[in-house]
Amino acid sequence: MRKTVRHLADDREIVYFDEDPHAPPRDAADTRDLPAVAAASEIRRDPLTGEWVAMAAHRQTRTYKPPADLCPLCPSRPGKPSEVPEADYDVVVFENRFPSFAQAVTGAQCSVDGAGLVPVAPGQGRSEVVCFTSDHGRSFAELTPERVRTVMEVWGDRTAELAALPGVEQVFPFENRGEEIGVTLHHPHGQIYAYPFVTPKTERMLETARAYRAEHGRHVLGDVLAAEHAAGTRVVARGEHWTAFVPPAARWPVHVQVVPHRQVGDLAELGPAERADFAEVYLRVLRRCDALYDRPLPYVAAWHQAPVRRDRDLAWLHLELFSVLRAKDKLKYLAGSESGMAVWVNDVTPEQIAQRLRSAV
């Protein structure tokens, strides 16, 4: 794979990843007249939960549901320049024009109203967009295994690069798909957030893993994986290096975890065989998800990775995919119990979810 780093008209970085090392050089210039990115995000810590919340008011004006012929993620065409200056590409990554977190964000740490109760800090980090293909009409499920392996390499590359940036504590690659999830750009793409803190969900999983190891001497996800292999009732797909299963306490009407058979902290630690096997297993999962209701399934696919600087021995890389669609034309809304108390009520059992996915072809 060939990696080429260039810059857009407003000096944001764009990185091309070509599967063919002999592909034409990536030297097209961004001809747009763009103002400098004005990222002004900050983070505030909730005094009741201790969790950090990002404030990024400049994102209110970001691109919203443009027509397909003006998609900013498609390759540039004569008279229609986009975020990608080249006329074609394999996989491309660039800094988000409307970032939630950015290296350029500066400022001193302080507190709201100067009272010291609610700490405030710059939203320093990085927000990147990852385009999986130049074909606007495709989805991740329609990629070839070879392209998925390339995307895996890209995720590993960006994880390592972003983890080396000042102030970054956790790297989070993810894909949002479907308007029901909140997607406003339909080109097949994902994002990567480099957070200036360890996320609340990761903190909770680390605490659980630490307590479980102290009591049992093993990693909790390793024991969960062994239990899923033994039971088999919730397994959706299995390969040599990865298993996809519905978690035994699934929160969502469609909910799948894709877990490597060995403990690794992040995507950068995976070997070629593991990346190849993930491509096969994950594509089977996605195609079953799309067959479930005989329509493209809206979903979030979220990579859980180790923090950059601590507790890496407690983390176990895995992908979590979930959907708000509980029937072909019905959504699961996060109502009072879920939104107000974070107590989930699922209308279907994990075993039923797994059976439906296994039967979907």
pLDDT of residue 38: 76
Same domain, 35 and 154: yes
Same domain, 133 and 30: yes
**CATH number of the CATH domain containing 238:** 3.30.428.10
Q: Domain ends where: 181, 199, 217? A: 199
pLDDT of residue 118: 93
Report the domain count for the chain.
2
Q: Domain ends where: 199, 231, 260? A: 199
Same domain, 177 and 216: no
Distance from C-alpha of 316 to C-alpha of 48, rounded to nearest angstrom: 29
Same domain, 240 and 151: no
- Above 90 in pLDDT, residue 224? yes
pLDDT of residue 315: 98
Token pair recorded at residue 319: 């992908």
Distance from C-alpha of 279 to C-alpha of 142, rounded to nearest angstrom: 12
Report the percentage of the chain scoring pLDDT > 70: 98
Is the alpha carbon torsion for 171, 177, 178, 183 positive or negative? positive
Report the percentage of the chain scoring pLDDT > 90: 84
Same domain, 45 and 62: yes
Same domain, 179 and 244: no
- Above 80 in pLDDT, residue 158? yes
Given 7, 187, 189, 304, the catalytic residue: 189
* Contacts of 99 by beta carbon, 8 Å cutoff, 6+ apart: 37, 39, 41, 56, 59, 126, 127
Q: What is the pLDDT of residues 159-207, one digit of tens each?
A: 999 999 999 999 999 999 999 988 989 999 999 999 999 999 999 999 9
Same domain, 103 and 12: yes
The pTM of the full predicted model, rounded to 2 decimals, is 0.94
Same domain, 191 and 208: no
- Above 90 in pLDDT, residue 61? no
Q: Domain ends where: 199, 230, 246? A: 199
Same domain, 194 and 224: no
- Above 70 in pLDDT, residue 249? yes
pLDDT of residue 298: 96
Q: Give the range of the structural domain holding residue 135, as residue numbers without chain letter.
A: 2-199
3-state secondary structure the chain: CEEEEEECCCCCEEEEEECCCCCCCCCCCCCCCCCCCCCCCEEEECCCCCCEEEECHHHHHCCCCCCHHHCCCCECECCECCCECCCCCCEEEEECCCCCCCCCCCCCCEEHHHCCCCEEEECCCEEEEEECCCCCCCCHHHCCHHHHHHHHHHHHHHHHHHHCCCCCCEEEEEEEECCCCCCCCCCCEEEEEEECCCCHHHHHHHHHHHHHHHHHCCCHHHHHHHHHHHHCCCEEEECCCEEEECCCCCCCCEEEEEEECCCCCCHHHCCHHHHHHHHHHHHHHHHHHHHHCCCCCCEEEEEECCCCCCCHHHCCCEEEEEECEEECCEECCCCHHHHHHCCCCCCCCHHHHHHHHHHCC
Same domain, 190 and 331: no
Q: What is the pLDDT of residues 300-313, one digit of tens each?
A: 999 999 999 999 99
Same domain, 150 and 162: yes
pLDDT of residue 135: 97
Q: What is the pLDDT of residues 126-142, one digit of tens each?
A: 999 999 999 999 999 99
Token pair recorded at residue 240: 């040599």
* Contacts of 221 by beta carbon, 8 Å cutoff, 6+ apart: 209, 259, 263, 316, 318
189 catalytic? Reply is yes
pLDDT of residue 273: 98
Same domain, 191 and 66: yes
The average confidence (pLDDT) of the chain is: 94
